Structure 1
Amino acid sequence: MTDVVVIGGGPAGSTAATLLTRAGLDVTVYERKTFPRPHVGESLLPATLAILDDIGVLPLIEAEGFVRKAGATMSWGRTGEPWSWYFRETNRRYPTSFQVWRPRFDQILLDHSRAVGADVHEGVGVREVLFEDERATGVRLDNGAVVRARMVVDASGQQSLAARQLGLKQWDGFFRNLALYAYFDDCPHLPPPDDGNIFIESAQGGWTWKIPLANNVSSVGAVVDRDAGVRRIREVGRAAYFAEQVAAATRTAAMIGDRQPSGPVTVVRDWSYAASRMTAPGLTLVGDAACFVDPLFSTGVHLAVSGAHLAAAQVVSALTDATIAAEAAIAYERLYRTQYEHFHQLARLFYAGNRSVDSYFWATRRITAEDERSPREAFVRAVSGQTAAGYERSVLSRAELPATFDTALTEMQRRPSAPDDIAKASPRLARGLELIRTAVLGENRFEWGYAVRGEGRDDVPVSPLVAHLLHNANGQRTIAQIAQAIATEISRPIAEIQPIAERATRLLIEDRVLLCEGSARRAPRSTS
């Protein structure tokens, strides 16, 4: 028996395997394909690099010679004129990212898992997850062999092995799309400083991407309505239909010219889905095996590796502390689903706001007042309880969104300011929020801690000192009184505790966790 079986050696599986092995667990990875193997999804986000750095593989990625990506250029929104946004505007640590060749990128990550001690088997597929009394106990391989494990991590990609086996996979009703893609040699791209950017162009039947890769290779794809795409492919074939879609995107077509794909056109259907449940006793779903959102914002690899970071923490917690196992599973799914929903709603808003092309594809993807979620609710979900910033703000500013979005954005940017004499303030917890004891993400595992929870916003983990402050913030006791009580309870000098309590209170008021009568509202900063 092994501690953990990981199904799949893609970015989610390899990242989870590396982290679990480093945590001292025996990890066995089964990957059906032999690497390098073909895979689409070449465009990385800067946030992904932080995780790659954490697992120790970033220097290998940097040394590989992948194309540097400064941001994205789009022909999308109110007009068809191209516009760009750049990572450096909001990410000082990683002002650029990479356009990677996925066969090589995925191989580097899996080889790294092997190097840190994971037992990696390529060319060995998993047929099913085995259960006893509703708990996952191992897997059955394609050759019939049974491998027992204390935990199973399903990172099987869009095959979604466990989700299909358990009937958990739910297709997205909004993004009913189909993608076609191929590779081209020696195509020109955008001029500097956008020469490493992904180029996205809306067109009559959907939208196209063009990604510059190393060795003068370009990844070119088209995302179209699923039903319309299937009908047309049956009529003319995938290669001819792909050529039609590229030709309709005039700027993309101009860069490709009369060049032909260097290989076959690949079709991927129904790209957006989520499992109704991402954990079960002894089982954790991660990466594309758990969810995938429309590729508009290049979030596939990021959701995979960030989810693997959370999944590894959940598995370590479950195997080392039975008292927190159930709560850690709940916390994992809450955090991971929040990430998914964030990108899902952002893409949904951007589809709805495109006015550069008038067609059936875009008309059916616009949010109306009769939609299942109000425009304001969709916006709040998209920005996850925080002001829109960085590329999200830039992207949303280009879309023609309902007026209620602008109202919501302005309101969310009008952050309350704390009273000048904060020590005499008597704040209280905002309506609809509660302080809870729950599993919070610690150093590579979930730990018991405290968080502020409320509908429509992310959990906010807080330190024990801040939890004590919130517990006593009843609208009657002053911050000075609360600080004195904390200092007495933990036997620390009041001179040490009160400045901390005052700074924390100011931040909590600005974040609308605490309310203080008479607090002024700070005007939003200009976003021009």
Structure 2
Amino acid sequence: MSTLPKSTQVLVVGGGPGGSTAATLLARQGFDVTLVEKEITPRYHIGESLLPSALEIFELLGIRDKVESYGCQQKEGAYFVWGPRQWGIEFQRLLNKYTFQVRRGRFDKLLLEHASEQGVKVFDGIEIRKLSFDGERPISATWSSGGMNGSSGEIAFDFLIDASGRSGLMSTQYLQNRRYHKEFQNIAIWGYWKNVDFSKIWPENGTVSARTEDGSGWIWAIPLSDDTLSTGLVLNKEIYKQRKSQASLEGIYAAGIADCPYVSDLVKTAELASPIKVEQDYSYVADKFAGPGYFMLGDAACFLDPLLSTGVHLAFFGGMLSAASIGSVLRNEVTQEQAYSFYDKTLRFHYLTLLVFVSSFYHITGNPEDMDMDADPSAGPRRFIAEVEDLQKVEPQMRQLVSEHMVELLTKAEEGVRLMVAEELEGTAKLSGELDPKHQAVFLQLWRGVFGYLPDFDGLRLKTQTNLRLVSVSEDDAAALTLDTVLDEKYYAQQEADMALTK
């Protein structure tokens, strides 16, 4: 399609995973959707490791077979070297799943091509210059393409999905409601390595997250399908500033890898095959994710930290949730005000849950004094939860819900971690012993709970089966997963039975 239409029901700004997901799911519901991407695709992007939750999104999109055959690196789990502790998580063993490591340029292009096949009007090389408003509601966008000699025009819309990434069309240019985290003031420095011995990575093609020995930062190592290893060093901004006064960017990066024996061993026979890249000021959140006529998602709404690969997951989740919300409004199943409130509260709950999980991982797993399980086992997570600034800025009911949920999961997860310590046997990381079924169930629920559990808000619930939509709790006969259910011994017993069937 060569020319943008004059109007559309839904305009999606941004062609990353979140924008493609929202556009595809709306088009599959029969709505008129136009998606514009500023860059000419494929374009480079960091964020190459997917979580197991991606498989459910692929099923919803109807794209799983394409992804499976696309040549992405299949990822079997994750391995952590965090201070004196080392452990692995095998997704197939604990979740009966796997996931992928992806080159984002090719992967995002695949999602866009699929969106087009599903009926989305897709345009790349289109920049949104300005939004026009009716009161607080955006109603049209002025666009341009091709620089000085290109074309331009205006497109009207009923709803705007802002998936514009870090540039944050609505948040930075109009609402000015983005806040940067005091907790995560980190710098990421990364490059790509060739001739890495992938056989040293366990689980197979898993994401490695390893702290430096001096405790000043950590390193990711992500094996990709073109036989390269994406390797990044994450440092606190103040530590980076100190080192920058004494060394080059390349020197800081090399020193960080040298101070991380597990990763330095991976790349000792490899060579750096790319320029070094650096990013900063990437941890932030908008105070509001939705309002009259607009929904913000992915990096346009919030971003946490590279640890645990939550970025693409949040983008997928926001895309799914916005498509359900807008679809329900356009079918007159909920009011617009209900949809905005539900979207904001649900995405924020999901984001805050991940925030506490990632933060607690930094603080608890890295500090031996927080691992004293003979003392109050919830003291570590509960203490840090009380300190997280973002939790103090939301309504008390949500803050309590997130806090209680995460304290229980983190406390039980730490018990599981202590039994999952791995050791090096003949150069390959192996589990030092079998977990008993209850601890397996705890770990399974930790990953499902963090990446799948959602409460009801405003008497509504997200429904993904049959038709993607918002439904009234009173009309939904499906049993909701509640905190009481998560912690119920019968639930653990059922998880034991489920896992016994998969062995």
**Band of TM-score, shorter chain:** 0.7 to 0.9
Instruction: Name the counterpart of 1:119.
Output: 121
Q: Highest CA radius of gyration, 1 or 2?
A: 1
Aligned CA distance change for structure 1 residues 263 and 508 (closer, same or farther; 3 Å)? closer
Aligned CA distance change for structure 1 residues 392 and 107 (closer, same or farther; 3 Å)? farther
Letter in 1 for 2:476: S
Aligned CA distance change for structure 1 residues 68 and 436 (closer, same or farther; 3 Å)? closer
Asked if residue 156 in structure 1 is aligned to residue 164 in structure 2, the reply is: yes
Tell me, in whole angstroms, the C-alpha distance in 1 between the residues paired with 2:409 and 2:184.
Answer: 25
Deviations, residues 207-240 of structure 1 (Å, cap 9, x unaligned)? 0011111121110001110232244335433222
In 1, are the aligned partners of 2:360 and 2:381 still within 8 Å (CA)? no
Asked if residue 8 in structure 1 is aligned to residue 10 in structure 2, the reply is: no
Aligned CA distance change for structure 1 residues 30 and 298 (closer, same or farther; 3 Å)? same
Classify the secondary structure of the residue corresponding to 1:373: helix
1:317 equivalent among 318, 328, 332: 328
Instruction: Name the counterpart of 1:441.
Output: 462
Instruction: Name the counterpart of 2:133.
Output: 131
In 1, are the aligned partners of 2:87 and 2:417 still within 8 Å (CA)? no
1:279 equivalent among 265, 286, 290: 290
Deviations, residues 134-160 of structure 1 (Å, cap 9, x unaligned)? 111122224553211111100011222
Tell me, in whole angstroms, the C-alpha distance in 2 between the residues paired with 1:356 and 1:378.
Answer: 25
Instruction: Name the counterpart of 2:188.
Output: 179
Letter in 2 for 1:97: T
Asked if residue 270 in structure 1 is aligned to residue 281 in structure 2, the reply is: yes
Question: TM-score under structure 1 normalisation?
Answer: 0.73
Instruction: Name the counterpart of 1:197.
Output: 206
Classify the secondary structure of the residue corresponding to 2:35: strand
Aligned CA distance change for structure 1 residues 394 and 186 (closer, same or farther; 3 Å)? farther
Unpaired runs of at least 5, structure 2: 1-6, 146-151, 370-378, 389-398, 422-437, 443-454, 497-503
Question: TM-score under structure 2 normalisation?
Answer: 0.76
Map 1:212-223 to 2 at 5 A: 212-223=223-234
Letter in 1 for 2:327: V
Tell me, in whole angstroms, the C-alpha distance in 1 between the residues paired with 2:360 and 2:118.
Answer: 41
Instruction: Name the counterpart of 1:299.
Output: 310
Instruction: Name the counterpart of 1:495.
Output: none
Letter in 2 for 1:109: L
Tell me, in whole angstroms, the C-alpha distance in 1 between the residues paired with 2:361 and 2:56.
Answer: 26
Tell me, in whole angstroms, the C-alpha distance in 2 between the residues paired with 1:435 and 1:262.
Answer: 48
Aligned CA distance change for structure 1 residues 268 and 509 (closer, same or farther; 3 Å)? closer
In 2, are the aligned partners of 1:202 and 1:356 still within 8 Å (CA)? no
Tell me, in whole angstroms, the C-alpha distance in 2 between the residues paired with 1:152 and 1:199.
Answer: 37
Query: How much has 1:242 moved relative to structure 2?
Result: 1.3
In 2, are the aligned partners of 1:342 and 1:382 still within 8 Å (CA)? no
Asked if residue 169 in structure 1 is aligned to residue 145 in structure 2, the reply is: no
Deviations, residues 309-340 of structure 1 (Å, cap 9, x unaligned)? 10111112233328521111111111111111
Instruction: Name the counterpart of 1:453.
Output: none
Instruction: Name the counterpart of 2:476.
Output: 463
Map 1:434-513 to 2 at 5 A: 438-442=459-463, 443-450=467-474, 463=476, 511=485
Unpaired runs of at least 5, structure 1: 359-365, 400-408, 414-433, 451-461, 467-503, 514-519
In 1, are the aligned partners of 2:186 and 2:235 still within 8 Å (CA)? yes
Tell me, in whole angstroms, the C-alpha distance in 2 between the residues paired with 1:75 and 1:327.
Answer: 44
Aligned CA distance change for structure 1 residues 323 and 37 (closer, same or farther; 3 Å)? closer
Letter in 2 for 1:98: F
Tell me, in whole angstroms, the C-alpha distance in 1 between the residues paired with 2:197 and 2:486.
Answer: 49
Aligned CA distance change for structure 1 residues 236 and 311 (closer, same or farther; 3 Å)? same
Instruction: Name the counterpart of 1:471.
Output: none
Deviations, residues 403-456 of structure 1 (Å, cap 9, x unaligned)? xxxxxx99xx9xxxxxxxxxxxxxxxxxxxx99863332332223344xxxxxx
Aligned CA distance change for structure 1 residues 127 and 66 (closer, same or farther; 3 Å)? same
Aligned CA distance change for structure 1 residues 58 and 386 (closer, same or farther; 3 Å)? farther
Query: How much has 1:308 moved relative to structure 2?
Result: 0.5
In 2, are the aligned partners of 1:246 and 1:252 still within 8 Å (CA)? yes
Letter in 2 for 1:438: G
Tell me, in whole angstroms, the C-alpha distance in 2 between the residues paired with 1:216 and 1:14.
Answer: 27
Tell me, in whole angstroms, the C-alpha distance in 1 between the residues paired with 2:483 and 2:249.
Answer: 56
Instruction: Name the counterpart of 1:86.
Output: 90
Letter in 2 for 1:381: S
In 2, are the aligned partners of 1:169 and 1:273 still within 8 Å (CA)? yes
Letter in 2 for 1:289: A
2:71 equivalent among 65, 69, 73: 65
Deviations, residues 260-282 of structure 1 (Å, cap 9, x unaligned)? 42111111112321110000101
Query: How much has 1:345 moved relative to structure 2?
Result: 0.6
Map 1:393-412 to 2 at 5 A: 394=416
Aligned CA distance change for structure 1 residues 38 and 191 (closer, same or farther; 3 Å)? same
Asked if residue 257 in structure 1 is aligned to residue 259 in structure 2, the reply is: no
Deviations, residues 430-484 of structure 1 (Å, cap 9, x unaligned)? xxxx99863332332223344xxxxxxxxxxx73699xxxxxxxxxxxxxxxxxx
Instruction: Name the counterpart of 2:109.
Output: 107
Aligned CA distance change for structure 1 residues 145 and 300 (closer, same or farther; 3 Å)? same
Instruction: Name the counterpart of 1:476.
Output: none
In 1, are the aligned partners of 2:77 and 2:204 still within 8 Å (CA)? no
Letter in 2 for 1:124: I
Aligned CA distance change for structure 1 residues 350 and 378 (closer, same or farther; 3 Å)? farther
Tell me, in whole angstroms, the C-alpha distance in 2 between the residues paired with 1:234 and 1:126.
Answer: 39
Map 1:370-381 to 2 at 5 A: 373=386, 381=403
In 2, are the aligned partners of 1:87 and 1:391 still within 8 Å (CA)? no
Tell me, in whole angstroms, the C-alpha distance in 2 between the residues paired with 1:240 and 1:341.
Answer: 35
Tell me, in whole angstroms, the C-alpha distance in 2 between the residues paired with 1:435 and 1:285.
Answer: 20
Tell me, in whole angstroms, the C-alpha distance in 1 between the residues paired with 2:306 and 2:384.
Answer: 22
Instruction: Name the counterpart of 1:44.
Output: 50
Query: How much has 1:199 moved relative to structure 2?
Result: 1.0
2:347 equivalent among 336, 341, 348: 336
Asked if residue 228 in structure 1 is aligned to residue 232 in structure 2, the reply is: no
Asked if residue 350 in structure 1 is aligned to residue 350 in structure 2, the reply is: no
Tell me, in whole angstroms, the C-alpha distance in 2 between the residues paired with 1:137 and 1:523.
Answer: 48
Tell me, in whole angstroms, the C-alpha distance in 1 between the residues paired with 2:457 and 2:71.
Answer: 47
Could you say what the CA RMSD is over the residues aligned between the two structures, in angstroms?
A: 3.7
